[in-house]
Amino acid sequence: MSNRPIYLDCHATTPMDERVLEAMLPYFTEHFGNPSSMSHVYGWEAEAALKQARQKLADAIGATPEEIIFTSGATEANNLALKGVAEAYFSQGRHIITVETEHKAILDPCRYLQTLGFEVTFLSVQPDGLIDLAQLEQAIRPDTILVSVMAANNEIGVLQSLGEIGAICRQQQVLFHTDAAQGIGKILLDVEEMKIDLMSLTAHKIYGPKGIGALYMRRRNPRVRVAPQIQGGGQERGIRSGTLPIPQIVGFAKAVELALEELKSESQRLLQLRDYLWHALCKLENIHLNGHPTQRLPGNLNISVEGVDGSALLLGLQSTAAVSSGSACSSGNVAPSHVLLALGQSEMLAYASVRFGIGRFNSTAEIEQVAQHTISAIESLRQSQAAVSKSANLKVR
């Protein structure tokens, strides 16, 4: 019997589904060819697998296979979208719009572009984490070349209104990019209906392999251009050079296929587990939900707890539950979450936050156990804090 904590950090990464691994294995040892080697059967097998995977990913978002560019993950896809568009369109304008609550894989490239002379508008968000669409419309200028708004927030799970954002951008003839790393396979995405021009994707958030992602690039109405950020062998039509990792690509496509097949039932199941956990924690006073109460990923619960030290709470939970205080990509940073601060949280509450990411392999019994342990940990920490405060007051007197 395992003594490992219950894994509830599925926004950071997910365990690989065995069905995904099964699909990948033959491409490590049997069908191991390079799809660029078109003079023999090994290359043909790899090319066939690549073509099928590209078609599956395109179908998942309403695109065409030619519009899917494989990358090493969503971070690279974001960099290719932002820097690639900036370089390709700089003669038309040097203004980009994004949001304060974006992942660092958007914010940091934007800040880099600022050092090159581009101007970036960082939109604020409302207390529920949603952007003000009127504010977005007002921020667009004649020299705006790109708007980048993430589909689902990695910390608070908030789902932005992609269709409305896309309509505004299309009307203003500005390219619209969305980081959908947390959205693919969890919400329905349609690049035509939502008027999305570029979309970043990754596999490891939906029980697929790490190290593989993709960038959707619209090819018509309008045709999007990006400047390559990696030069080399000319793969992916020269947009992203490098030998394509067929096992990971096959796994990516299988993970997306499974997620979409099970999306409706899995969303309902995760919603029930999340609501159980939230209502259990609400029995305590001064527990705050971060982000929109309903317009969020079904498996996401992000809370701030008054009267406790955040690091102490995580320490108290670590034997029972593997959870996070924010973005796993920056959890080593002792600074409070930039996302929670953007919602208007105080630094104290931002420090005292916990993100629960419920996933495919979590059971009702596990969530019940985590709820009980979390309540006990919070009560214990609050009692300790009260005792410390009482002692301090007595010393002052």
> Which residue, among 72, 73, 31, has the nearest Cα to 52 in the 3D structure?
31
DSSP tag of 3: -
Task: Give the torsion sign (CA, 66, 72, 75, 76).
Answer: negative
Question: In the numeric block, which tokens belong to residue 137?
Answer: 């419309």
Q: Partners of 201 in the beta sheet?
A: 214
> Which residue, among 213, 216, 217, 215, has the nearest Cα to 252 in the 3D structure?
213
Distance CA 302, CA 100 (A): 18
Q: Are 263 and 186 in contact (CB under 8 A)?
A: yes
Whether 282 sits among the annotated catalytic residues: the reply is no
Distance CA 63, CA 73 (A): 19
C-alpha distances (whole Å) from 22 to each of 73, 247, 256 are 21, 10, 15
Q: Single out the catalytic residue among 10, 110, 282, 329.
A: 329
Distance CA 175, CA 102 (A): 17
Q: Are 56 and 64 in contact (CB under 8 A)?
A: no
Q: Which helix (H) or strand (E) holds 249?
A: helix 246-261
Amino acid at 365: A
Where residue 62 falls (left for φ over 0; alpha for ψ -120 to 50; beta otherwise) is left
- What is the set of active-site residues? 329
